[in-house]
Amino acid sequence: MKKIILLLLISFSIKSFANENVLTIGDENVSLKEFENIFFKNNDLESFTKEYLDEYMELFINFKLKVKEAESLGMDTLSTFVNELEGYRKQLSKPYLKDKEFEESLLNEAYERTKYDLNVSHILIAFENSSTKRTEKEAFDKINNIRDKILSGNITFERAAVMHSDDRSSKINQGNLGYFTSFMMVYPFESAAYNCKVGQICGPVRTKYGLHLIKLNDKRNAIGEVQVSHIMFKTQQGNKEINETAKTKIFDIYEKLNEGQEFEDLAERFSEDKSSAVKGGKLPPFGVGKMVPVFEDASFDLKKINDYSQPFESDFGWHIVKLISKKPILPFDELKTELKRKIERDSRANLSQESLFKKLRKDYNIVRISKRIKQIKGYGEKSVFEGNWDGKNAKGLIFTLFMIDDLKINQQDFVKYLVDNQEKGSIIDELYEDFINLKLLEVEESNLSEKYPEYKALLKEYRDGILLFDLTNKLVWGKAVEDTIGLNNFYESKKNDYLWDERVEASIYTCSNLEIAKQVRKAIYRKQRNQIENSDIIKKINKNNSLNLKIETGKFEKGENKILDNVKWKKGISNDIKSEKNQIIIVHIESVLPSSTKTLSEVKGKVISEYQNELDKNWIKDLRKKYKFSVNYDVLYSIINK
């Protein structure tokens, strides 16, 4: 009972603080909820102390002070800021302008379909072909007539595909499209095929290509993805000599493989697929329907890694394939992100949008004023259909066309939309529905902050972040780079902190062997007498082989170069040093440099960084004087109980 009472007390104390302010800056209050959103996003600690919260709060105050200053300077009203924030707002709003339940169902449907491969034949009757423009009714009449003949047994599906299909490949494959899986066909075709039973004829199904009859020949568990290497010799249709030579070559290679010769080596030396030969015959991974059937079958029939097939012939030539890897269909959680991307690029995305519009039409009250749309049609229906209306004759139409809740949409808004979006064959009633959908989306967008607190918080984070970046860039980062006088003054005040330790100016000569080292040593002596430079030495020594000599030159402190750390720092030329790779190294120390102050150019990056820190520190000090702020520590520490 005692524990229960304590839990209730803690729960009550947490709830009582939930809507309280944790920080006040000037006239702005920051609620505990806003602070928590940012705090927990940046901290995944299981527990934390008051001291940790105090430190974080100090950083948060600095952040808020800078944002406050940016607002006081009017930076949140600049067009550059407004445009940038609008770009982010558009991106952030996208996940909220979707029917999430519908998208989830599409995602699950897509994954279920990836578990199976279908073998399908089809007959296509296009609405348009090269000889005539076919109307939709004519297409339906024709395809239904074909379907009736097939079902009555007067003709086989395959023969009908050869005789009637507008898919030219049907003349060769009798309408058989081979195996495919989800996302490989347009969505209406895919859906019809996956809802069909093996042996059944389904349709007609309408797609953007026309009308289809679909016959499901086979449905199997998905074969997944495979990666193979191959060796290929090309054939040429009708050329018996080339084809026989290719066959002889592939069987010769097969014998060499059976004798134990390396597949990759043979592929590189002999394969006529030059793009893969240089990689030992390796091809990119592929799944169902990505290769010609005979190549796909041979690849997926291999059971063990490094197994290779017998020679086989495709339309492109003779092949032997070797298995590199084989992957089954991944679990849903691992495939989810990829499926989402595919849905966004697929026609399914339009279905998702349509589902959202249906939802919005239920969420909002739409009042249409029918006589007002009739007025617009009276002025522009014919011209819109022809795709050439300029809308000028409808300038007098300035009344409310429809309302979404309390929002009034003017006739002129729709006139402008018609002018901008008309095409030949456009129908005003259809464009009217599209326009209503567009306005519904705008209304929903404007209400996102009220409907979704997490979206409102995220948008505010982006807003404050942009303001912070812009002002900090102006007063700290950019200033430190552009303010040369200030940078020089800062360097002068701190230059005793920027010191070189003792250094050597040296050249390190790495020679491929002892003979090269002898030649290099002679050249170094000539260099000492100012007769030649290092560039002359390397040019001469590497004339026949670029790997004979490597030269590293510069000024070095202790710890910067292992070789120099192991030689005496004295002006002169070292003895031969044998490296771990059996190379010969010669070190020429040209001078020993005492400790000295680094010039600004030598240490500029560090000076700029420290100058930025100094500017930032002074800026924060000024802001803390300029704006009053207070922290409610009781509210702040309530986070610990959570």
At 233, list the tokens.
Answer: 């010799």
User: Is 30 within a domain?
Assistant: yes
- Measure the CA dihedral 321/323/328/329, to 10°: -50
Q: Stretch 335-354: mean pLDDT, rounded?
A: 89
Give residue 6's pLDDT band: very low, low, confident or very high (50, 70, 90): very low
Q: Stretch 387-399: mean pLDDT, rounded?
A: 94
Q: Stretch 139-152: mean pLDDT, rounded?
A: 94
User: Is 526 within a domain?
Assistant: yes
Shared domain for 196 and 232, answered yes or no, is no
pLDDT at 391 over 80: yes
Q: What is the span of the domain harbouring residue 592?
A: 499-597
Shared domain for 233 and 321, answered yes or no, is yes
Q: Stretch 4-30: mean pLDDT, rounded?
A: 60
The identity of residue 555, as a single letter, is K
Final residue in a domain of this structure, among 201, 221, 241: 221
Shared domain for 300 and 262, answered yes or no, is yes
The rounded Cα 311 to chain-centroid distance in angstroms is 40
Measured CA to CA, the distance from residue 481 to residue 472 in angstroms comes to: 13
Shared domain for 368 and 443, answered yes or no, is yes
Residues in a beta bridge with 409: 402
Shared domain for 385 and 437, answered yes or no, is yes
pLDDT at 159 over 90: yes
pLDDT at 1 over 60: no
Measured CA to CA, the distance from residue 114 to residue 109 in angstroms comes to: 9
Looking at 239-288, list the stretches that DSSP marks H as alpha helix, in order from N- to C-terminal side: 240-258, 263-270, 274-277
pLDDT at 642 over 80: no
Does the N-terminal peptide bond of residue 204 adopt cis geometry, omega within 30 degrees of 0?
A: yes
What residues contact residue 81 under an 8 Å CB cut-off, 6+ apart? 75, 466, 467, 470
Mean pLDDT score of the chain? 91
User: Is 462 within a domain?
Assistant: no
- Helix, coil or strand: residue 575: coil
Shared domain for 229 and 320, answered yes or no, is yes
pLDDT at residue number 19: 64
Looking at 389-513, list the stretches that DSSP marks H as alpha helix, in order from N- to C-terminal side: 411-421, 428-446, 448-451, 453-472, 478-482, 484-494
Contact 42, 27 (CB under 8 A): no
Shared domain for 210 and 229, answered yes or no, is no
Shared domain for 315 and 387, answered yes or no, is no
Contact 611, 481 (CB under 8 A): no
Final residue in a domain of this structure, among 418, 433, 448: 448
Let me know if 76 is exposed, middle or buried by CB neighbors in 10 A (0-12, 13-18, 19+).
Answer: middle
pLDDT at 39 over 60: yes
Contact 404, 439 (CB under 8 A): yes
Question: Rg (Cα) of the chain, in Å, rounded?
Answer: 38
Contact 225, 216 (CB under 8 A): no
- Helix, coil or strand: residue 578: strand
Q: Stretch 179-203: mean pLDDT, rounded?
A: 95
User: Is 567 within a domain?
Assistant: yes
Using alpha carbons, select from 360, 425, 464, 388 the residue that is nearest to residue 88: 464
Shared domain for 293 and 230, answered yes or no, is yes
Final residue in a domain of this structure, among 413, 433, 448: 448
User: Is 153 within a domain?
Assistant: yes
**Residue 315 phi, psi (nearest 5):** -65, -15
Question: pLDDT (tens digit, 9 = 90+) per residue, 117-143?
Answer: 999 999 999 976 444 556 888 899 999
At 426, list the tokens.
Answer: 């456009």
pLDDT at residue number 16: 45
Q: How many CA atoms does the CB half-sphere of 221 hold within 13 Å?
A: 3
Locus of tokens 């939309």: 417
pLDDT at residue number 129: 46
Shared domain for 232 and 315, answered yes or no, is yes
Shared domain for 202 and 233, answered yes or no, is no
Contact 221, 125 (CB under 8 A): no
Percent of the chain with pLDDT over 90: 83
Measured CA to CA, the distance from residue 352 to residue 360 in angstroms comes to: 12
Locus of tokens 């007609």: 204
Indicate the helix (H) or strand (E) that contains 227. Answer: strand 225-234
* Count of Cβ atoms closer than 10 Å to residue 546 Cβ: 10
Locus of tokens 């229960």: 4
Locus of tokens 């014919």: 382
pLDDT at residue number 4: 36
pLDDT at 12 over 80: no
Contact 316, 358 (CB under 8 A): no
Q: How many residues are given for the chain?
A: 642
Contact 440, 575 (CB under 8 A): no
Measured CA to CA, the distance from residue 507 to residue 518 in angstroms comes to: 16
Measured CA to CA, the distance from residue 42 to residue 481 in angstroms comes to: 30
pLDDT at residue number 128: 62
Q: For position 322, which CATH number holds?
A: 3.10.50.40
User: Is 353 within a domain?
Assistant: no
Using alpha carbons, select from 442, 445, 438 the residue that is nearest to residue 459: 445
* Count of Cβ atoms closer than 10 Å to residue 82 Cβ: 11
Residues in a beta bridge with 213: 123
Measured CA to CA, the distance from residue 311 to residue 320 in angstroms comes to: 5
What residues contact residue 532 under an 8 Å CB cut-off, 6+ apart? 523, 526
What residues contact residue 455 under an 8 Å CB cut-off, 6+ apart? 92, 93, 96, 448, 449
How many domains does one find in the chain? Answer: 5
The Cα-based distances of 352 to 7, 195, 332, 358, 433 in angstroms read 45, 20, 20, 10, 17
Top mean pLDDT of 17-26, 48-57, 211-220 is at 211-220
pLDDT at residue number 7: 34
Using alpha carbons, select from 219, 337, 223 the residue that is nearest to residue 285: 223
pTM equals 0.64
Shared domain for 209 and 241, answered yes or no, is no
Question: pLDDT (tens digit, 9 = 90+) per residue, 245-297?
Answer: 999 999 999 999 999 999 999 999 899 999 999 999 999 999 999 999 999 99
Q: Stretch 555-571: mean pLDDT, rounded?
A: 93
User: Is 185 within a domain?
Assistant: yes
User: Is 480 within a domain?
Assistant: no
